[in-house]
């Protein structure tokens, strides 16, 4: 695939760039600061320095791509933020202008308590988490709404708590419901899931929950 990754210098995005390159994909990494990418990734990926909030600045980075993946997120969930919604708005506008259709948004499973959750998670843990991360979750909900209304061939991927360990090389997933017992996933495994979903037409128009 020819794939563009936003948030490429973040914890998940960097793993996605590495996994995509290892799989032989042609990768464009859109970043604010190229120095944030390790030298070995800069040498293999097409690195574009641009403001994701400016559709005109990123249009060329998404034109002609088979898939566009965003792993942009806030690093401080306790404060008001609009980084997910604003970046999604910019990416969607750029993709519409470029005629690119396939879009994968990274969100969070904590947003939605419902089918697939055990009772403790559904009625206790997630409501409490929603209070603590209300600003980040409000931002992600707005990003999800923009994605659903984009007219693109979209998939929303919802992981649970992210860990920085080596991962186990596999993950569980569920379409339009939560993963039972899915409390965490390694960023490396989430990166694999994002790339798998990007190449899976059956996931278009669905929310895919993933967990370790």
Residue partners of 156: CB distance under 8 A and separation at least 6: 104, 105, 107, 144, 147, 148, 206, 207, 208
Domain at 2-211: CATH code: 3.40.50.720
Residue ranges covered by each domain of the chain? 2-211
Measured from the Cβ of residue 76, the count of other Cβ atoms closer than 10 Å reads 10
pLDDT band at 165 (very low <50, low <70, confident <90, very high): confident
* pTM reported for the whole predicted model: 0.93
Structure tokens that stand for 142 in this block: 């707005």
Give the DSSP H or E segment for 55: helix 55-62
**pLDDT at 125 exceeding the cut of 90:** no
pLDDT band at 128 (very low <50, low <70, confident <90, very high): low
- Average confidence score pLDDT of the chain: 92
Provide the pLDDT for residue 76. Answer: 66
What pairing do the DSSP bridges indicate for beta strands 172-175 and 153-158? unpaired
pLDDT band at 168 (very low <50, low <70, confident <90, very high): confident
Encode pLDDT of 85-112 as tens digits: 999 999 999 999 999 999 999 999 877 7
Encode pLDDT of 195-208 as tens digits: 999 999 999 999 99
Encode pLDDT of 48-84 as tens digits: 999 999 999 999 999 999 999 999 987 666 688 899 9
């Amino acid at each position: 695939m020819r794939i563009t990754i936003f948030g490429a210098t973040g914890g998940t995005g960097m793993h996605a760039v590495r996994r995509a390159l290892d799989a032989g994909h042609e990768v464009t990494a859109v970043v604010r600061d190229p120095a944030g990418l390790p030298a070995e990734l800069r040498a293999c990926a097409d690195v574009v320095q641009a403001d994701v909030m400016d559709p005109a600045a990123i249009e060329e980075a998404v034109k002609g791509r088979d898939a566009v993946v965003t792993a942009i997120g806030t690093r401080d969930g306790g404060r008001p933020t609009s980084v997910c919604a604003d970046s999604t708005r910019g990416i969607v506008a750029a993709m519409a202008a470029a005629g690119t259709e396939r879009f994968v948004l990274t969100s969070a499973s904590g947003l939605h308590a419902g089918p697939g959750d055990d009772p403790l998670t559904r009625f206790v843990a997630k409501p409490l988490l929603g209070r603590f991360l209300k600003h980040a979750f409000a931002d992600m909900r707005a990003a999800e709404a923009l994605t659903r209304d984009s007219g693109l061939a979209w998939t929303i991927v919802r992981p649970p708590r992210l860990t920085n360990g080596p991962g186990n090389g596999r993950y569980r997933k569920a379409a339009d419901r939560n993963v039972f017992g899915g409390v965490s996933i390694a960023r490396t495994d989430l990166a694999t899931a994002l790339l798998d979903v990007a190449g899976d037409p059956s996931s278009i128009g669905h929310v895919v929950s993933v967990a370790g």
